[in-house]
Amino acid sequence: MANGLMVFIEQFEGKIANVSLELISKGRELADQLGVSLEAAAVGYEMEEELKLLGHYGCDKVYYIDNEELEFFLSLPYADAVSHIIKKYAPQIVLFGATTTGRDIAPRIASELRCGLTADCTDLQIGEFTLKGETYKDKLLQIRPAFGGNIIATIVSPDSMPSMATVRSGVMKMVNPDKNKKVEIVEEAYTPKDDLFLSEILEVIKIEKSVDLTSARIIVSAGMGAANPDSIKLVAELASVLGGVVGASRPVVDSGLLKKEHQVGQTGTTVRPNLYIACGISGQIQHRAGMNESKRIIAINNDPEAPIFNIAHYGIVGDINDILTKMIAAYKNKV
Ligand X SMILES: Cc1cc2nc3c(=O)[nH]c(=O)nc-3n(C[C@H](O)[C@H](O)[C@H](O)COP(=O)(O)OP(=O)(O)OC[C@H]3O[C@@H](n4cnc5c(N)ncnc54)[C@H](O)[C@@H]3O)c2cc1C
Residues that bind ligand X (CB under 6 A): 148-149, 223-225, 249-252, 263, 265-268, 280-282, 284, 286-287, 290, 301-303, 306, 319-320
- Minimal distance, residue 158 CB to ligand X, in Å: 28
Is residue 170 within 8 A of residue 276, CB to CB? The reply is no
Using the minimum distance from each CB to ligand X, give the nearer residue, 12 or 314: 314
Instruction: Report the candidate in 122, 96, 93 with the shortest Cα–Cα distance to residue 107.
Output: 96
Rounded to the nearest whole angstrom, what is the least distance from the CB of residue 221 to ligand X in the complex? Answer: 8
C-beta of 38 vs 252, nearer to ligand X = 252
Amino acid at 29: E
Residue closer to ligand X by CB (options 9, 278) is 278
Cβ burial of 241 (10 Å; 0-12, 13-18, 19+) is middle
Instruction: Supply the minimum distance, in Å, between the C-beta of residue 210 and ligand X.
Output: 18
Instruction: Tell me the CB-side half-sphere exposure of residue 36, using CA atoms within 13 A.
Output: 21
Residue closer to ligand X by CB (options 92, 270) is 270
E runs forming strands in 103-256: 117-121, 123-131, 134-146, 151-155, 163-167, 184-187, 218-222, 245-248
Q: How far is the CB of 230 from ligand X (least distance, A)?
A: 11
For ligand X, which is the closer residue by CB, 47 or 238? Answer: 238
DSSP secondary-structure letter at 74? -
Q: Which is nearer to ligand X, 275 or 317 (CB)?
A: 317
Query: Minimum distance from CB of 71 to ligand X (Å)?
Result: 33
CA triplet 289, 121, 90: central angle to 5 degrees? 165
Report the residue number whose CB is nearest to ligand X: 265
First to last CA, the chain: 58
At residue 295, φ and ψ (nearest 5 deg) are -65, -45
Closer by beta carbon to ligand X, 125 or else 267: 267
CB of 213 to ligand X, least distance (A): 12
Minimal distance, residue 331 CB to ligand X, in Å = 19
All residues at 6 or more sequence positions from 191 whose CB lies less than 8 Å from its CB, including other chains: 67
Helix (H/G/I), strand (E/B), else coil: 285 = helix
